[in-house]
Amino acid sequence: MKENKSEFSYEVYDDISELNDKDARLLKKARVVTKEAYAPYSNFRVGAVAILENGETVTGTNQENASFPVGICAERVLLGTVATLHPQVPIDTMAISFTSGSQESDHPISPCGMCRQALMEYESRVQKPIRLILSGQTGKVFVIKTASMLLPLAFTNKELG
């Protein structure tokens, strides 16, 4: 028997003022775009903004539904939009923020499991990492070098042969 070890590290900033201008601008947009979420059921509004390798900016917000499982997360709304409007263009960085009706938005949130799988698929599709910036409306900012770091031992298209 041997044990495999998988390590994960990410950058932690005290607040947005520690980021470079480009990252700070992207995070500000993610914070603002949360307003466009349709989240009448959870009151949890998520905003995602990506800067693409071609310089374009694309946004996504969560869109809920009275039939709850029909709802879709901000990150996957964004990925579908990028793939449709800018096919095969790599995503350089994606910033994700939120507001909530029941708690302070003073800490980062991290993509859900389904979104991690979708982010990884996009990385493999265009063969480029997606850098993530995670933060609430205020407070600490996490920066993750590549989305696939969030999904160790992932199921990938390689398994399908």
Query: CB–CB of 26/133 below 8 Å?
Result: yes
How many residues sit close enough to ligand THU to count as binding (CB under 6 A)? 13
Q: Which one, 103 or 156, has the nearer CB to ligand THU? A: 103
Q: Return the SS3 of 41.
A: coil
Residue 93 engages ligand THU in binding (rule: CB under 6 A): no
Q: Is 129 helix (H, G, I), strand (E, B) or coil?
A: coil
Q: What residues contact 121, with CB distance under 8 A and at least 6 apart? A: 157
Residue number, 73 or 82, with CB nearest to ligand THU: 73
Active site annotation includes 75: yes
Strands 44-52 and 91-100: antiparallel
Contact between 71 and ligand THU (CB under 6 A)?
yes
Is residue 26 part of the contact set for ligand THU (CB under 6 A)? no
Q: Is 80 an interacting residue with respect to ligand THU (CB under 6 A)? A: no
CA neighbor of 44 nearest in space, from 114, 134, 105: 105
- Smaller CB distance to ligand THU: residue 18 or 35? 35
Q: What does the per-residue mask of binding to ligand THU show for 45-64, with x meaning CB under 6 A?
A: -x---------------x-x
**Residue 158 and residue 141 in contact, taking contact as beta carbons nearer than 8 Å:** no
Chain contacts with ligand THU (rule: CB under 6 A): 39, 42, 44, 46, 62, 64, 71, 73-75, 111-112, 115
